[in-house]
């Protein structure tokens, strides 16, 4: 079952050159798909289109079989309930003036969802490994990793079908990054995820399918294990070869290239 | 020793930021300072070049090229910077003057060094040196680059310009503070190779500061791991990154290997 389908999408800002050119891929329901690319690859623009913040100029995006109707308010409200996002910077994505309770329940209020919002917030906090008591505190009282957990709690509180993560662990320190990647793996078993990142290691640890983007085009797409083991395109090969690896245990010297 | 830091403590009136830190770097040695955010690694680099903000209090000793850094006059320090040490920072866009062509920016440290050495500071002599540096850091299309402004070239090219400016000083120690963190991974690999090759060829010692263990492993011969302002572990890079002894280093190495393993296809 395909949850998200991107069909021949093209996009340009103003009269400039194409930021996205004939981009097509699908996200099966329940899958974790990684969109990988360096700066200028078009991955951020693609994410904006998936969030419904911009509309493709060519092609179309289907969610659950229906084209995105970004201009219909009732459609977009339903879309926001079903599709949520986690962003890169946990320091700027949480409103510092509000208690965590208000931040985490924000989607429930703005989408006017029924139910016991406080109980749903407590459940979401438990799901991300935070003490529900944290709901009564303010964002500045938490570390970067904890803030990203709060951002994830906000993303999952309305029980979305799809979570879009934009460089969601890139701003975190290494040890925190591993823990948040583990958390994403854990919650991804219950929903579909699209993980946008420049970091191939993180995407490889999280996603079963990869879409490699370069300068607005899909270079290569397929199962993560196949792409890592046997990259078909020169760009993918050079990308993989450029990633610095830890020295092997047997290596006698701090090796250099 | 070229750089000798002994029992360095840095802090504000009420917070200790670096505590009892000691390490030294031999001439020509490539030394890696590893730490997560808030570890004090960048502050330590600022202290080594006498660039600490006024609100930071420092105790202990720092000796660079035989001269004391802590408590030295601004005049002595400014001679030391340039002659003994030059720095490359994370974001070259903020380190470069946005309104000055790149060639003229590289010419500034070139002219300063030639004057210091009593050399020829005429326009053609400086231009020749600038041109040689641009070629040494393998910037493409030197004629265009010399006339270009920072925003007209890529991040990797800006970092090459910053490296050229550092080399222009002919320093004995180059400090590189997260020099590749803002760059794409393919560009990062090129800059790391360039930097490592240049310091080796020129016999310049390197203090390489990074949170990225794998990158430090490619660059440094010896490393020091910092956490919350203190030294956790130090030793040969190959040993610390493959057989760490301290719990904190072990957890960092395990985390880095986790992503390496994922890249080998084992999630």
Rounded to a whole number, what is the distance in angstroms from the first to the last CA of chain A? 45
Which segment of A13-17, B1-5, B98-102 scores lowest on mean pLDDT? A13-17
> Residue B45 to residues A63, B56, B62: CA-CA distances in angstroms?
51, 13, 11
Q: Where are the domains of chain B?
A: 3-263
CB contact under 8 Å between B262 and A205, yes or no, is: yes
**Percent of residues, chain B, with pLDDT higher than 70:** 99
**In the prediction, which pLDDT does B29 show?**
97
Cβ density class A209-236: b for 16+ within 10 Å, e for less: bbbbbbbbbbbbbbebeebbeebeeebb
**In the prediction, which pLDDT does B145 show?**
94
B31 touches B205 (CB < 8 A): yes
What interhelical angle do B155-168 and B185-202 show, nearest 10? 10
CB contact under 8 Å between B211 and A229, yes or no, is: no
- Residue A147: which H helix or E strand, with range? helix A144-156
Chain A residues with beta carbon closer than 8 angstroms to that of B266 = none
**In the prediction, which pLDDT does A16 show?**
78
Q: What is the pLDDT along chain A (257 residues), one digit of tens a residue?
A: 899 999 999 999 887 788 999 999 999 999 999 999 998 899 999 999 999 999 999 999 999 999 999 999 999 999 999 999 999 887 788 999 999 999 999 999 998 999 999 999 999 999 999 999 999 999 999 999 999 999 999 999 999 999 999 999 988 999 899 999 999 999 999 999 999 999 999 999 999 999 999 999 999 999 999 999 999 999 999 999 999 999 987 544 444 44
Closest by Cβ to B263, choosing from A177, A201, A252: A201
Instruction: Return residues 231-250 of B near A (CB < 8 Å).
Output: 236-238, 241-243
CB contact under 8 Å between B221 and A246, yes or no, is: no
Under the banding of pLDDT at 50, 70 and 90, the label for residue B92 is: confident
Spell out the SS3 assignment of chain B.
CCEEEEEEEEECCCCEEEEEEEEEECCCCEEEEEECCCCCHHHHHHHHCCCCCCCCEEEEEEEECCEECCCCCHHHHHHHHHHCEEEECCCHHHHCCCCCCHHHHHHHHHHHHHHHCCCCCCHHHHHHHHHHHHHHCCCCCHHHHHHCCHHHCCHHHHHHHHHHHHHHCCCCEEEEECCCCCCCHHHHHHHHHHHHHHHHHHCCEEEEEECCHHHHHHHCCEEEEEECCEEEEEEEHHHHHHCCCCHHHHHHHHHHHHHHHHHCCCC
Question: B252 CB near a chain A CB, below 8 Å?
Answer: yes
Tell me, which fold does domain B3-263 have in CATH?
Rossmann fold (3.40.50)
Q: State in words which class domain A2-242 has.
A: alpha beta
Q: List the single residue in B with minimal CA-CA distance to A252.
A: B238
Q: List the single residue in B with minimal CA-CA distance to A248.
A: B242
Closest by Cβ to A228, choosing from B37, B193, B265: B265
Beta-carbon neighbour count of residue A35 at 10 Å?
32
Closest by Cβ to A243, choosing from B213, B236, B263: B263
Chain B residues with beta carbon closer than 8 angstroms to that of A177 = 255
> pLDDT per residue over B55-78, tens digit each?
999 999 999 999 999 989 998 998
CB pairs under 8 A between A and B: 120
Segment B91-107 shows an average pLDDT of 90
Question: B196 CB near a chain A CB, below 8 Å?
Answer: yes
**In the prediction, which pLDDT does B152 show?**
93
> Residue A79 to residues A53, A162, A167, B40, B73: CA-CA distances in angstroms?
12, 10, 22, 45, 63
CB contact under 8 Å between A200 and B257, yes or no, is: no
CB contact under 8 Å between B238 and A251, yes or no, is: yes
Q: If you average pLDDT over every residue of chain B, what do you get?
A: 93
Q: Rounded CA gap, B152 and A189, in Å?
A: 45
**In the prediction, which pLDDT does A152 show?**
96
Under the banding of pLDDT at 50, 70 and 90, the label for residue B79 is: confident
Q: List the single residue in B with minimal CA-CA distance to A144.
A: B37
Chain A residues with beta carbon closer than 8 angstroms to that of B263 = 200-201, 204, 228, 240, 243, 245
CB contact under 8 Å between B255 and A245, yes or no, is: no
> pLDDT per residue over B153-207, tens digit each?
998 999 999 999 999 999 999 999 999 988 899 999 999 999 999 999 999 999 9
Closest by Cβ to B213, choosing from A205, A246, A252: A246
Q: Rounded CA gap, B47 and B58, in Å?
A: 8
Chain A residues with beta carbon closer than 8 angstroms to that of B93 = none
Closest by Cβ to B193, choosing from A201, A241, A257: A257
- Quote the radius of gyration of chain B (alpha carbons, Å): 19
pTM of the model: 0.89
Q: List the single residue in B with minimal CA-CA distance to A238.
A: B186
> pLDDT per residue over B207-240, tens digit each?
999 999 999 999 999 999 999 999 999 999 999 9
Under the banding of pLDDT at 50, 70 and 90, the label for residue B95 is: confident
DSSP 3-state assignment of A5? strand
B101 touches B147 (CB < 8 A): yes
Q: Which residues pair with B177 in a beta bridge?
A: B209
Q: Rounded CA gap, B144 and B30, in Å?
A: 33
**Percent of residues, chain B, with pLDDT higher than 90:** 87
Chain A residues with beta carbon closer than 8 angstroms to that of B184 = 38-39, 198
Q: What is the dihedral of CA A166, A170, A173, A174, to 10 degrees?
A: 110
Q: How far is A122 from chain B (nearest CA, A)?
A: 30
Q: Rounded CA gap, A104 and A130, in Å?
A: 12
**In the prediction, which pLDDT does A250 show?**
59
Chain B residues with beta carbon closer than 8 angstroms to that of A255 = 217-218, 238
- Quote the radius of gyration of chain A (alpha carbons, Å): 19
Q: How far is A233 from chain B (nearest CA, A)?
A: 15
B239 touches A247 (CB < 8 A): no
Statement: residue B93 has pLDDT above 80: no
φ and ψ at residue B146, rounded to 5 degrees: -60, -35
Quick one: how far is CA A58 from the chain centroid?
23
Picking from A195, A242, A246, A253 by the largest number of B CB atoms within 10 A of its own CB, the best residue to mutate is A246
Q: Where are the domains of chain A?
A: 2-242
A167 touches A85 (CB < 8 A): no
Q: Rounded CA gap, B242 and B254, in Å?
A: 10
Question: A178 CB near a chain B CB, below 8 Å?
Answer: yes
Quick one: how far is CA B9 from the chain centroid?
21
> Residue A39 to residues A117, B142, B188: CA-CA distances in angstroms?
39, 24, 13
Neighbour-count burial of A96, counting CB atoms closer than 10 A to its CB (0-12 exposed, 13-18 middle, 19+ buried): exposed
**In the prediction, which pLDDT does B90 show?**
84
Nearest one of B123, B88, B119, B120 to B107, comparing CA atoms: B123
How many Cα atoms are found within 13 Å in the side-chain-facing hemisphere of B45? 27
Under the banding of pLDDT at 50, 70 and 90, the label for residue B267 is: low
């Amino acid at each position: 079952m395909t949850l998200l389908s991107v069909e021949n999408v093209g996009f340009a800002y103003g009269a400039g050159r194409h930021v996205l050119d004939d981009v097509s891929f699908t996200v099966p329901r329940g899958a974790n798909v990684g969109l990988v690319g360096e700066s200028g690859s078009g991955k951020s623009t693609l994410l904006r289109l998936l969030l419904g913040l911009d509309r493709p100029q060519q092609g179309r995006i289907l969610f659950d079989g229906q084209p995105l109707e970004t201009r219909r308010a009732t459609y977009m409200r339903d879309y926001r309930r079903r599709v949520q996002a986690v962003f890169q910077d946990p320091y700027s994505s949480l409103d510092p003036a509000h208690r965590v309770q208000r931040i985490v329940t924000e989607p429930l209020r703005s989408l006017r969802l029924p139910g016991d919002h406080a109980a749903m917030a407590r459940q979401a906090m438990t799901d991300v490994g935070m003490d529900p008591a944290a709901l009564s505190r303010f964002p500045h009282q938490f570390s970067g990793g904890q803030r990203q957990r709060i951002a994830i709690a906000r993303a999952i509180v309305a029980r979305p079908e799809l979570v879009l993560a934009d460089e969601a662990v890139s701003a975190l320190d290494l040890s925190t990054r591993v823990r948040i990647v583990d958390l994403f793996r854990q919650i991804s078993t219950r929903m579909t995820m699209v993980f946008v990142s420049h970091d191939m290691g993180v995407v490889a640890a999280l996603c079963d399918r990869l879409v490699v983007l370069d300068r607005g085009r899909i270079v290569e797409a397929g199962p993560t294990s196949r792409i890592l083991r046997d990259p078909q395109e020169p760009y993918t090969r050079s990308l993989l070869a450029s990633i610095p690896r830890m020295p092997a245990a047997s290596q006698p010297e701090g090796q250099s290239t | 020793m070229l750089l000798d830091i002994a029992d360095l403590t840095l802090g504000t009136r009420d917070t200790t930021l670096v505590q009892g830190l000691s390490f030294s770097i031999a001439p020509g040695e490539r030394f890696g300072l590893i730490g997560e955010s808030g570890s004090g690694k960048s502050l330590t680099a600022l202290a080594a070049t006498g660039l600490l903000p006024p609100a930071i209090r420092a105790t202990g000793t720092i000796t660079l090229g035989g001269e004391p850094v802590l408590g030295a006059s601004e005049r002595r320090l400014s001679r030391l910077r340039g002659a003994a040490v030059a720095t490359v920072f994370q974001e070259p866009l903020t380190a470069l003057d946005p309104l000055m062509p790149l060639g003229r920016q590289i010419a500034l440290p070139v002219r300063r060094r030639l004057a210091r050495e009593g050399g020829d500071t005429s326009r053609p002599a400086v231009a020749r040196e600038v041109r040689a540096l641009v070629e040494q850091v393998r910037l493409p299309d030197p004629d265009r680059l010399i006339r270009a402004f920072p925003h007209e070239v890529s991040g990797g090219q800006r970092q090459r310009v910053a490296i050229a400016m550092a080399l222009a000083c002919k320093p004995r120690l180059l400090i590189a503070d997260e020099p590749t963190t803002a760059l794409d991974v393919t560009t990062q690999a090129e800059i790391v190779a360039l930097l490592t090759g240049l310091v080796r060829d020129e016999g310049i010692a390197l203090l390489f500061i990074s949170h990225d263990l794998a990158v430090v492993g490619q660059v440094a011969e010896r490393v020091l791991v910092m956490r919350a302002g203190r030294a956790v572990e130090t030793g040969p890079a190959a040993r610390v990154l493959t057989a760490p002894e301290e719990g904190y280093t072990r957890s960092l190495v395990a985390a880095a290997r986790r992503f390496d393993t994922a890249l080998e296809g084992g999630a």
